[in-house]
Structure 1
Amino acid sequence: MKVVVHGKPFAEAARPFIQGMFDEMALRKIDVWISGGFEAILNAANIRLSNTTTFGSPADLNGARLVVSLGGDGTLLETVALIGARQIPVIGVNVGRLGFLATVPPERIKDMILALETGDYRIETRSILEVEANNMEIFGGVNFALNDLAITKTDTSSMITVHSYLNGEFLNSYWADGLIVSTPTGSTGYSLSCGGPVLVPNSKSLIVTPVSPHNLNVRPLVVEDSAVLSFEVKSRSNNFLLSLDSRSSIVDESTQLKVRKASFVARLVKMRQDNFFDTLRSKLSWGLDMRN
């Protein structure tokens, strides 16, 4: 079984769990492939590695049964970008902070490895956003996001105007600090902090959420995920910030954007006991009365 491991720098408290994961994989003779950048991080942390191979190109992912993301939610988003359209299942081990997407706690790593070997898990498919621009290639061709796309201002004073179209028909001109297009997976991220609704992961919808709109009667909008959204941005600085998950770039305001659901999905591995509503209650403190 070929398993790919990708991650970011981790706290010292996570080191014994990570060492235990690689020891367990070596004991079970799992063929482990590690990204070159993460191998350097592991070596610096004095993690002992055996039966591992280093890969440098996403093409080396071909043939992998799954990818393990070691970190937080940001690491998992980066891992999904690395996988791209290959649709290799990915599981997130939370050695980061929030752990909304990376749901396996470090103390359950050995249980996770056993479950992966025996097939005692499920795979959730999550929709992905794809963006096109009229005059440039977005992020070196990695033009997709699991969570959201955000159009925001680049300066600290003036708002931007985002002229928005739905399936070619004029929707609205948003005078705001920005605009977010979110998937159901991303509904608990940036969009939620700006007043957007929570969607269950298998919802066939997208959310359009303004960021600090000038008109207070403008509210988040839920549209069908078959829709094509188009945007033209006007700014006093003649540019704006475009973000896809954790990646961002300043682009010229002459850039016109078109956003739709991608033709491929992300496949997230979940342990049998993982439940979306349990995660909502534990991570967002739903139902807790802080007075007691």
Structure 2
Amino acid sequence: MAVNRLGLVVHGGRAEAVQAADVVRAWCARYDVQCTDIDVWHDGGRRSAREEVAAAGDPDLVVTLGGDGTFLRGARLAAENDALVLGVDLGRVGFLTEVSAASVRAALDAVREDRFEPDTRMLLTLRASRRLEMPPDVESLMRYGRGPLLPPPAVRSDCVVDDEWGVPLHVTALNDVVLEKLARDRQVSVGVYVSGRLLASYSADALLVATPTGSTAYSFAAGGPVVSPRAEALVFTPVAPHMTFNRSVVTAPDEPVGLRVLERSGRAAVSIDGQVRGVLEPGDWIGVYAAQRRLRAVRLGPMDFYGRLRDRMNLTDAPAAVADGTPTPFWSVTTPPPGDMAHLSLVTAPDGAAPQA
């Protein structure tokens, strides 16, 4: 792939990220690639994704240097421009990032030489009963511990505003959309709809809709299921609900999830991939659904999602089970599968050897 313009998103608080950024800039200088730092603080505030990518000259590759949070910031920009995103892992969890800092130069070479596969991920978008706003008093409250806030999302000009279907917001979420309470002493009360039909009314700390990619983020912490990033689904999860039914609900990608703040509820904040973007009043609603566009991430080899899940979540084996013997790979990963299994996707280690348990 020809890389002409590269956008760089750096976690400035990590020395190794700053060092890796120098490696990326040197690579760009060698191949005469325009390199621009983007998604940085400006005058105590934040710019929209469109403003940031425009200032960077509309990059065709976005490289993130940090953890999954930094990757999410880069993904927001890449999705805006339909650019590729390459995540360099310098964090503690690393479900989204692809390569280590030591491999960043080799990864850039692989992209330039077309030795990669694009990994497409579902994105979420929104419609709402009205345009989201951030009241000044709430902005001051939510700013604590979060840094400067992103601006409320604009209304999308490419879609029709409809009284029945609401206002289309300019939103792309890779992980999740969350409706959360503002006051510590008062939960948010929300009616939850699936495909336009009422599912249940909840009183909870928060309610969220996640992508398969986001199933290992906030949804997982709230007790939601782990979903393969290759799946096509929306995952609805209540957070600390005051009701017996506290399970997640997994819907099809063409089954939108609606969240309406009930009349006697307190105000609720709308967060998109962890960033507060506006506040809803009682009677307001948002509808979360799969976006038409998808994120394109650089994948240099087969993704062992379940091996990564085991490592990142520290899934140690039960002592009693370990005492009964060490498990070996269930099926061969070094020889081709037989004909009746040829259509299956089995993880293969990069060097052809069996992956380590």
Q: Which TM-score band applies after superposition, normalised by the shorter structure? A: 0.7 to 0.9
Give me the whole-angstrom Cα distance separating, in 2, the residues matched to 1:96 and 1:236.
41
Give me the whole-angstrom Cα distance separating, in 1, the residues matched to 2:16 and 2:309.
25
**Are 2:207 and 1:176 aligned?**
no
Shift of 1:163: 0.4
Amino acid at match of 2:259: F
Structure 2 CA distance for partners of 1:101 and 1:235, relative to 1, 3 Å: farther
Amino acid at match of 1:86: N
Give me the whole-angstrom Cα distance separating, in 2, the residues matched to 1:58 and 1:18.
18
1:253 equivalent in structure 2 = 282
Q: Which of 100, 108, 124 does residue 129 from structure 1 map onto?
A: 124
Structure 2 CA distance for partners of 1:60 and 1:171, relative to 1, 3 Å: same
2:223 equivalent in structure 1 = 195
What CA deviation, in whole Å up to 9, does each residue of 1:150-200 have, x standing for no partner?
111111122221101111111111121111101000000000001100111
Shift of 1:234: 3.0
Structure 2 CA distance for partners of 1:215 and 1:85, relative to 1, 3 Å: same
1:52 equivalent in structure 2 = none
Where does 1:211-290 land on structure 2 (aligned, <5 Å)?
Answer: 211-234=239-262, 238-248=266-276, 249-288=278-317
Asked whether the 8 Å contact 1:159–1:235 carries over to 2, the reply is: no
Where does 1:76-155 land on structure 2 (aligned, <5 Å)?
Answer: 76-137=71-132, 139-141=152-154, 142-155=170-183
1:161 equivalent in structure 2 = 189
Structure 2 CA distance for partners of 1:264 and 1:186, relative to 1, 3 Å: same
What CA deviation, in whole Å up to 9, does each residue of 1:32-90 have, x standing for no partner?
233273899xxxxxxxxxxxxxx964235666332111221111111222234432111
Larger mean CA deviation between 24-33 and 167-176 belongs to 24-33
Asked whether the 8 Å contact 2:65–2:90 carries over to 1, the reply is: yes
Higher strand fraction (1 or 2): 1
What is the TM-score with the length of structure 2 in the denominator?
0.71
Which entry has the higher C-alpha Rg, 1 or 2? 2
Asked whether the 8 Å contact 1:85–1:264 carries over to 2, the reply is: no
Length, aligned pairs only: 278
Structure 2, unmatched stretches of 5+, are: 44-49, 134-151, 155-169, 323-357
Shift of 1:277: 2.1
SS of alignment partner, residue 75 of structure 2: helix
Structure 2 CA distance for partners of 1:80 and 1:274, relative to 1, 3 Å: same
Asked whether the 8 Å contact 2:256–2:287 carries over to 1, the reply is: yes
Asked whether the 8 Å contact 2:89–2:97 carries over to 1, the reply is: yes
* % same residue: 27
Asked whether the 8 Å contact 1:7–1:38 carries over to 2, the reply is: no
Give me the whole-angstrom Cα distance separating, in 1, the residues matched to 2:312 and 2:62.
24
Structure 2 CA distance for partners of 1:156 and 1:38, relative to 1, 3 Å: closer
Give me the whole-angstrom Cα distance separating, in 1, the residues matched to 2:12 and 2:33.
23
What is the TM-score with the length of structure 1 in the denominator?
0.85
Amino acid at match of 2:177: L
Q: Which of 12, 16, 20 does residue 23 from structure 2 map onto?
A: 20
2:233 equivalent in structure 1 = 205
Larger mean CA deviation between 111-120 and 58-67 belongs to 58-67
Amino acid at match of 1:262: A
Give me the whole-angstrom Cα distance separating, in 2, the residues matched to 1:19 and 1:214.
50
Structure 2 CA distance for partners of 1:14 and 1:140, relative to 1, 3 Å: closer
Give me the whole-angstrom Cα distance separating, in 2, the residues matched to 1:184 and 1:75.
19
Shift of 1:98: 2.1
Deviation beyond 4 Å, 4+ runs, structure 1: 60-63, 287-292
What CA deviation, in whole Å up to 9, does each residue of 1:3-48 have, x standing for no partner?
22122313224433332232233223333233273899xxxxxxxx
Asked whether the 8 Å contact 1:5–1:35 carries over to 2, the reply is: yes
Asked whether the 8 Å contact 2:212–2:227 carries over to 1, the reply is: yes
